[in-house]
Chains A and B, each alone.
Chain A
Amino acid sequence: MDLSVQIGSLTIANPLIAASGCFGYGVEYADVVDLASLGGVAVKGLFLSEREGHAPPRIVETPSGMLNAIGLQGIGVHRFIAERLPELRERRAVVVVNICGTTLDEYVEVARILSDAEGVHALELNISCPNIKEGGITFGCSLPGTHNVVSAVRKVTSLPVIPKLTPNVTDVASFARAAEEAGADAISLVNTFLAMAIDVHTRRPRLTNIVGGLSGPAIRPIAVRMVYECRRVVKIPIVGMGGIATADDVLEFMIAGANAVQVGTMNFVDPFIWTKLMDGIRDYMTRHGIVRLQDIVGTVDTSTREKAWISS
């Protein structure tokens, strides 16, 4: 049974990647998850410097989902390399570093620093966090901005470059195409949906940041549709995510067009989810006589359905 996935020059053993922002720096989970058994670990977004993030409350639960406005609290790229990367290396984790910037130069600098660090396997460009005012999503919501940041990072690293796309745009597929044209090795989607919750008794927003990003099973069907849209316009691998809770959800994303997936919110609910997902994927492959998991990617059969209206 072959579960491997090729992302640029990187081959990962299976398609299950821990989603950035949902798995700390990976080391927090080392007691409960064999990090080497995952396809990869996408660590919490890193800027050049440390960041404190937003004041609490930072999360609020919503039906089958949650809003967060953490504000990219983080230890910065230098402390990550000094204090967290050695343990990740020791535990043989495939490390995907999610990188952030308030300026184009900062993305480039963070990428350059990480490219020289031993034990980093890929860079995920966070151009989609809805919770910070400067940088990030301002690149991800503009086609030239997306193109510029991807091509600038592309020039300074030989690591696979994976821009993480925001769903908070009219036509996500056009951003996928811009990323591919700029030299991305893969794209990941979706980041969270900008959302809001209000306490009707106090009439105050439930989050200090007023708005936050919605994640969890509530968003899954929208994320699946967006992966499907992107698969139609790009050739590069897609890392799909959005509320994955079961092996069937993983397979749904893959059939829609994802080569690999990330699991985020449901890892909070069940940190032991990984072996359950893996077992379910293997069962499915056995039941359907699939030898190579990548063979199901983008195989959704729409031939007997009305042709859906697609924004692109």
Chain B
Amino acid sequence: MPVDIDAAVIANRRLSADYNVLALAAPEIAAAAKPGQFVMIKTSGGQDPLLRRPFSIFEILRDAAGAPAGVSIFNKRVGAGTTLLSRVESGTRLALLGPLGRPFEPVDPPAEAWMVAGGVGLAPFVTLGAALAARGTPTTLFYGARRAEELYCIELFEAMGVSIVLSTEDGSRGVRGRITVPLAGALESRPLGTPVKLYVCGPTPMMRACAQLAHRHGRACDVSLEQVMGCGLGGCYSCVVLARGANGGAPHHTRTCIEGPVFDAQRVVWEAVAGH
């Protein structure tokens, strides 16, 4: 059951001109959140911007005693709302509704988990990585960006014992090219007898490419979709994607807020997905 919290900003950690991590005091949401769920944040106190913005829960923050105390979000400055969130100062209060959405289902060993992130699509993988680590599932993060400076927060995954494969489009760190390059190589070399599940979040073309690779290699693949969202609760029908039913059937416009954001990649009609 989602709650709305008037959450104080604990810290705004700037990562670069465009990226920041915003820590918010929200114990009830932190305690209830599952990997891959999201919150809807009111970015201004007024009516412009009017609507809340959806954000994956990036980290679960804990107090000295280890109790859930808050959540953080991984923010990329794109429009008016994300610009406001890039500038907020500690002590500011923001309305935070959550946790929302269908979470990731972490696999158990001996299956392996491969998390594939593009750019700001890193956001849902800290919570998933932690859940996988808790199960002892061998986990790899494939993480791509345009250049080395845009690869953030890798230390969070190193601390969990996650194996890390990086790529940059300019070759400044890791494999040169998009993250699908090392992912394709890893899928090729992996014996079919070893179960692997892919979890993907990033730009639409990257998710589509990963879904095709997973399909070609017969691997399960979940994607976390980001769409323009009005309410986050299933009321407005804004955030739909064309997706087949969970048990097959003809594709229909499916709400990403309550039936997603996590979908089996094979359900999604990728040609129809908006976004970039």
Residues of A within 8 A of B (CB): 21-24, 28-29, 31-32, 44, 52-53, 55-61, 63-66, 68, 70, 73, 208, 216-217, 245, 265, 267-272
Are A271 and B253 CB-contacts (below 8 A) given A59-B238, A61-B50, A217-B47?
no
Contact flags B187-218 to A (C-beta < 8 A → 1, else 0) = 00000000000000000000000000000000
CA distance A28 to B255 in the complex (A): 12
Identify which of B15-23, B65-73, B120-128, B227-235 touches chain A: B227-235
Does the CB pair B274–A59 fall under 8 Å?
no
Shortest beta-carbon distance, B5 to chain A, in Å?
11
Name the B residues within 8 Å of A44 (CB-CB).
237
Contact across chains for B236 and A59 when beta carbons are under 8 A apart: yes
A56 in contact with B234 given A31-B2, A73-B253, A269-B52 (CB within 8 Å) = no
Task: Decide: A73 near B4, CB < 8 A? Known: A29-B233, A268-B231, A268-B235.
Answer: no
Q: Is the CB of B2 within 8 A of A22?
A: no
Contact status of A59 and B230, CB under 8 A, knowing A66-B51, A265-B50, A268-B51: yes
Within 8 A of A (CB), among B4-52: 4, 42, 47-52
When distances are taken between beta carbons in the complex, the residues of chain A under 8 Å from B88 are none
Say whether chain B's binding surface is mostly helix, strand, loop, or mixed.
Answer: loop
A22-B236 in contact (CB<8A):
yes
Q: With A32-B1, A61-B49 in contact, is A68–B238 under 8 Å at CB?
A: yes
What A residues does B42 contact at CB under 8 A?
A: 269
Chain B stretch 124-160: residues in CB contact (< 8 A) with chain A: none
Nearest first, the 9 A-B pairs at minimum CB distance are A28-B234, A268-B231, A64-B47, A59-B238, A24-B235, A56-B274, A31-B1, A268-B230, A58-B238
Q: Given A23-B235, A70-B237, A28–B258 Cβ distance below 8 Å?
A: yes
What is the size category of the interface that chain B forms with chain A?
A: 20 to 34
In the complex the two chains form, is A64's CB within 8 Å of B48's CB?
A: yes
Task: Judge whether A70 and B1 touch: CB under 8 Å.
Answer: no
Between A and B, 24 residue pairs with Cβ closer than 8 Å are: A21-B236, A21-B237, A24-B236, A29-B233, A31-B2, A52-B252, A53-B240, A55-B242, A55-B272, A56-B227, A56-B238, A57-B274, A59-B236, A61-B50, A65-B50, A73-B237, A73-B240, A245-B47, A267-B231, A268-B51, A268-B236, A269-B52, A270-B4, A271-B97
Once the chains are docked, how many angstroms separate the CA of A292 from the CA of B119?
Answer: 57
Question: Does B241 lie at the interface of the complex (its beta carbon under 8 Å from any beta carbon of A)?
Answer: yes
User: A57, B4: Cβ atoms under 8 Å?
Assistant: no
Residues of B within 8 A of A66 (CB): 50-51, 230
In this complex, what residue of A is CB-closest to B95? Answer: A270
B251 and chain A: residue at smallest CB distance: A52
List 17 extra interface pairs beyond A52-B252, A268-B236, CB under 8 A: A22-B235, A24-B236, A28-B235, A28-B258, A32-B2, A56-B227, A59-B230, A64-B47, A65-B50, A68-B230, A70-B236, A70-B237, A73-B253, A217-B50, A267-B235, A268-B235, A271-B4
B240 A58 Cβ-Cβ under 8 A: yes
Chain B residues near A58: list those with CB within 8 A.
228, 237-238, 240
Q: Nearest residue in B to A243 (C-beta to C-beta)?
A: B47
Instruction: Give the shortest distance, in Å, between B271 (CB) and chain A (any CB).
Output: 11
**In the complex, which residues of chain A have a beta carbon less than 8 angstroms from the beta carbon of B48?**
63-64
CB pair A53 B237 closer than 8 Å: yes
Docked complex Cα distance between A68 and B235 (Å): 13
Contact B241 A24 (CB under 8 A): no
- The answer to whether B237 touches A271 (Cβ under 8 A) is no
Pick from A23, A28, A216: contact of B50, CB below 8 A: A216
Q: Which residues of B contact A24 (CB under 8 A)?
A: 233-237
Residue of B nearest to A271 (CB): B233
Chain A residues within 8 Å of B1, by CB: 31-32
> In the complex, what distance in Å separates the CA atom of A272 from the CA atom of B239?
21
Report the bound CA distance from A63 to B50 in whole Å: 7
Decide if A32 touches B233 in the complex (CB within 8 Å): yes
**How far, in whole Å, are A279 and B235 apart by their CA atoms in the complex?**
24
B167 to chain A, nearest CB (A): 29
Report how far A68 CA is from B228 CA in the complex, Å: 12
Q: Closest residue of chain B to A62, judged by CB? A: B50
Q: Which has the most chain A C-beta neighbours within 10 Å: B49, B233, B274?
A: B233
State the CA gap A80–B253 with chains docked (Å): 17
Across the interface, name the chain A residue whose C-beta is closest to B258. Answer: A28
Task: Evaluate contact between B238 and A70: CB separation under 8 angstroms.
Answer: yes
Residues of A within 8 A of B47 (CB): 64, 216-217, 245
Which residue of chain B is the closest to A70 with respect to CB atoms?
B237
A-contacting residues, B230-276, CB 8 Å: 230-231, 233-242, 252-253, 258, 272, 274
Instruction: Report the minimal beta-carbon distance from B78 to chain A, rounded to whole angstroms.
Output: 13
CB distance from B32 to the nearest CB of A (A): 12
Find chain B residues with CB under 8 A from A70 CB. Answer: 236-238
